[in-house]
Amino acid sequence: MSRVPSDSQMKSSELFKKRLNSLIAEQDCSIYEFADRAKVSRGVVARAAIHGIIPSVKLLIKICDYLKISLEYLLCLTDGKNFEPANPPSAFHDRLDELCFEYKVKYSQIGMRMPFSVNLFYDWRRAKTIPSLEYLMAIAKYFSVSVDYLLGRTDER
C-alpha cells in the first residue's frame, strides 16, 4: 500500500504558496537565501514558493522550526501565528502511543476510521517514521488535536 494517498489533496496549494511567500518576505531575503537559512533544498523552496507545491512533512517541519510557527499556520489551516514549542519535543510515535493510552484505543480501532491501512501504524512505529500530511491530518482529527501536537512539536492540543 502506498505511503502517500494517490488522490492526495495536499500536493499543492495557492494559499500555502501565498503564505510561504509572505513569510519569506518578512525574512527580508530571497527564496534561495531563505532555503539556505531553513536548511532546506533551494529547489524544494522554489517549487513551493513559485508553484505552491507542498513539500514532505519533514521539510515542512524544518521550515516551521526555522520560522517558529505551526504547521497549521504555514498550510493556512489557521490564522493564529502564535506557537509555543514543546520542551522537550516528543517523537510522533511516542505521542501517538500516549494518545492511544489516554483514549483507551488500539491502532486497529483507529484504523477502521482512517483512509489507510492499519498496518501503516506499525510501519511508522517500527521505522520511527512519520505519515504523509494527509494521514497526519486524519489522525489529528480523530484525536481532536493539532498536527503539531501529534508530531510532538508543541504541547498545545
User: What pLDDT does residue 127 have?
Assistant: 80
User: What pLDDT does residue 10 have?
Assistant: 67
Distance, CA of 151 to CA of 140 (rounded, Å): 9
The 3-state DSSP composition of the chain as helix, strand, coil percent (nearest 5) reads 55, 5, 40
Considering the entire predicted model, what is its pTM? 0.89
User: What pLDDT does residue 1 have?
Assistant: 34
User: What pLDDT does residue 132 have?
Assistant: 93
Distance, CA of 104 to CA of 135 (rounded, Å): 21
For 76, other C-beta atoms within 10 Å of its C-beta total 15
By CB neighbour count within 10 A (0-12 exposed, 13-18 middle, 19+ buried), where does 15 fall? exposed
Contact 113, 35 (CB under 8 A): no
Contact 66, 38 (CB under 8 A): yes
User: What pLDDT does residue 2 have?
Assistant: 35
Domains of the chain, start order: 14-74 (1.10.260.40), 92-150 (1.10.260.40)
User: What pLDDT does residue 81 have?
Assistant: 86
* Predicted confidence (pLDDT) per residue in 17-28, tens digit: 999 999 999 999
Q: What does pLDDT average to in each consecutive run of 10 residues of the chain (157 residues)?
A: 48 95 97 97 97 96 97 94 91 94 94 90 88 95 96 94
